[in-house]
Structure 1
Amino acid sequence: MILIEIAHPTSALNDHDRDLISQSIVDLFLADGGHAAETTLRARAATHIAFRELMGWRTGDGPPAENAAPPMIITLTVPEAWREEAARTFIGFVRTAVRRLDDDRGWQRERASLWVRVDGVPDGSIGLDGRPATADDVLDFLTEEFREALANGTAATPPDGKLIDPICGMTVRDGKGAVILEHRGDRWGFCSLGCRDAYVRREPEIVA
């Protein structure tokens, strides 16, 4: 679940601009390589990008200059349990996507004309398919098909030197700084503390 709303002054972006920034966001957030195909399919369906035009945009200096990079306020909404760990990465992805648009249009963006907010939604206030849900419920939805493939032995094998995250299927480098657990003779890597904690909750005999 990543809901992305891009607010900008009325008529500041055209269809090409919206397509470019949307595709850049998708490419950055859901890049090929390292993600389980099963999880990526679900994540694509749960990633929503929309644009909102706002009339009468003003800063303390007045209306935005014509033919300049338009100001934007970009809001990403995720489960609260993900927010702190993911915010820095998500902000970087959005900044890169906007830079691609600016480069395409030949814009030189002024300081303080791009603001990114990462908002977290508490458990029980997330409506997955219109039903109250938690961050774990969202993670279960995103990873369900991968976990089924892992259980029945059809999940892809990680390359040499990599471990597989048993929650989401991402491949993780096996080395210094990696988040790793050994359980029942298997060595697992985790893409994030969130996935590790989700695994521990599913395997209560583990002491992380």
Structure 2
Amino acid sequence: MLLIEIAHPAGRLTPADHDLLGEAVVGLFLAPEGHAEETSVRARGATHIAFRELSGWRTGHGVPAADAAPPLIITVTVPRSWRDEAGGTFIGLLRHAVRRLDDARGWHRTEGSLWVRVVGVADGDIGLDGRPATGADVVDFLTEDFRSALANGSVAPPPAGKLLDPVCGMTVPDGRGAIVLEHDGRRWGFCAAGCRDAYLREHPAAVA
């Protein structure tokens, strides 16, 4: 669940700009390196990017200059637990995506013209396919196909020095700061606390 709305002054971004910025967001948030294909397919389907043109845009200085980078207000909506853990990362990725557009257009963005809001939706207020859900339900939905493949023994082992996240399939470095659990003699790594918690719900005997 990654819902991104990009608001800008009416007429200031072209359809080509929308395409460039949308592709930059997808490329940064859903980079293929280290992700399981099964999870990536589900994540792509649950990622939605839309643009909203707003008329009458004003700042404290008046109407934004027509030859400058247009101001943007980006709202990204995720489960609350994701916001608490990775809100800063989301903001950084969106900043980099906007920079790609600015570089392509030769725009110099003035300070205070890009705002990002990370909105966390509480459990029960998430409507997954129109049904009330929790952040854990979203994780389960995104990782269902990979977890089935792992249970069927059709997942390749991770490269040397990496650990496999048994929930989403990402490979993570096995080193200092890694989120790790051991269960039934196997060492697992996790890309985030959400995946670790999902594994613990199914395997409460796992230990750090």
Name the TM tier (shorter chain). over 0.9
Q: Secondary structure at the match of 1:23?
A: helix
Give distance in 1, aligned partners of 2:67 and 2:49.
24
Give distance in 1, aligned partners of 2:155 and 2:127.
29
Give distance in 1, aligned partners of 2:28 and 2:165.
20
Structure 1 residues not aligned, in runs of 5+? none
2:100 maps to amino acid: R
Q: TM-score, normalised by structure 2?
A: 0.98
Q: TM-score, normalised by structure 1?
A: 0.98
Counterparts of residues 37-56 of structure 1 (less than 5 Å): 37-56=37-56
Q: Secondary structure at the match of 2:91?
A: helix
| 1:60 alignment counterpart | 60
| 1:170 alignment counterpart | 170
Q: String of CA shifts for 1:90-129, please: whole Å, max 9, x gaps.
A: 1111000000000000000000000001000011110111
Do structure 1's residue 152 and structure 2's residue 152 form an aligned pair? yes
Aligned residues: 208
Counterparts of residues 76-155 of structure 1 (less than 5 Å): 76-155=76-155
Give how far 1:52 is off.
0.3
Q: String of CA shifts for 1:56-101, please: whole Å, max 9, x gaps.
A: 0001110100111000000000001111111111111100000000
Do structure 1's residue 73 and structure 2's residue 73 form an aligned pair? yes
2:7 maps to amino acid: A
Give how far 1:29 is off.
0.4
Structure 2 residues not aligned, in runs of 5+? none
Give how far 1:207 is off.
4.9
Give distance in 1, aligned partners of 2:185 and 2:128.
35
Percent identity of equivalent pairs: 68
Give how far 1:156 is off.
2.7
Give distance in 2, aligned partners of 1:162 and 1:206.
19
**RMSD value over aligned CA atoms?**
0.9
| 1:197 alignment counterpart | 197
Q: Secondary structure at the match of 2:118?
A: strand
